[in-house]
Amino acid sequence: MKFIIAIIKPFKLDEVREALGAIGVAGMTVSEVKGFGRQKGQTEIYRGAEYSTNMLPKVKIEVAAPDDLAPKIVETIQQVASTEAIGDGKIFVLDLASAVRIRTGEAGDTAL
């Protein structure tokens, strides 16, 4: 099993969710996060007081998937979330040791 974490631009969330649904992803967890990478921050001006914010708002998607589906998920997110501009985000893939469905106690791939 793999655990996939993708940091994407917030406005790409709906497209990514639909595309993942279409390839058979049954669930995901989404959070609003802030962070920085190579993309420069933005400047905000309030009554002439300038603040440069280096933490930009992003959306974090977490998906647990069986090994065979994981490459397809990564590929889909990469393609759908891309605007080919700096700041599109990153995808991280981790090995997942176990998964348990709380309602039934099922474990492993069947819990996903």
Partner 1 sequence: MMNRKLIGGIGATVASLAVSTAAWAQAAGPIKASDAAFAAAQAGMVNKGDTTWMLICSALVLMMSIPGLALFYGGLVRAKNMLSVCMQVFMIVSVAGLMWACIGYSMAFTSGGSPLPAVFGGLSKAFLMGVDGTTLGATFSNNVYLPELSFVVFQMTFAMITPALIVGAFAERVKFSALMVFVVLWSIVVYYPMAHMVWYWAGPDYLVDAPTDYGLLWGWGALDFAGGTVVHINAGIAGLVGCLVIGKRTGYPKEPMPPHSLVMTMIGASLLWVGWFGFNAGSNLEANGVTAVAFINTMLATCAAAVSWSLVEHFHHGKASMLGAATGAVAGLVAITPAAGYGAPMTSIVLGFVVSPVCYLFVAKVKNALGYDDSLDVFGVHCIGGIIGAIATGIVAAPSLGGQGVFDYTQFPAAFDASTYSISTQVITQIKAVLFTLVYSGVLSAVLYFIIDKTMGLRPSVEDENVGLDISSHGERAYNM
Helix, strand, or coil (residue 98): coil
Q: Does 36 bind partner 1 (CB under 8 A)?
A: no
Q: Does 49 bind partner 1 (CB under 8 A)?
A: yes
Q: Which residue has the tokens 């905000």?
A: 44
Q: Which of 44, 67, 75, 106 binds partner 1 (CB under 8 A)?
A: 44
Let me know: does 60 contact 14? Beta carbons within 8 Å.
no
Least CB distance from residue 55 to partner 1, whole Å?
11
Report the residue number, 36 or 92, with the smaller CB distance to partner 1: 36
Q: Which residue has the tokens 């997942």?
A: 96
Q: Does 103 bind partner 1 (CB under 8 A)?
A: no
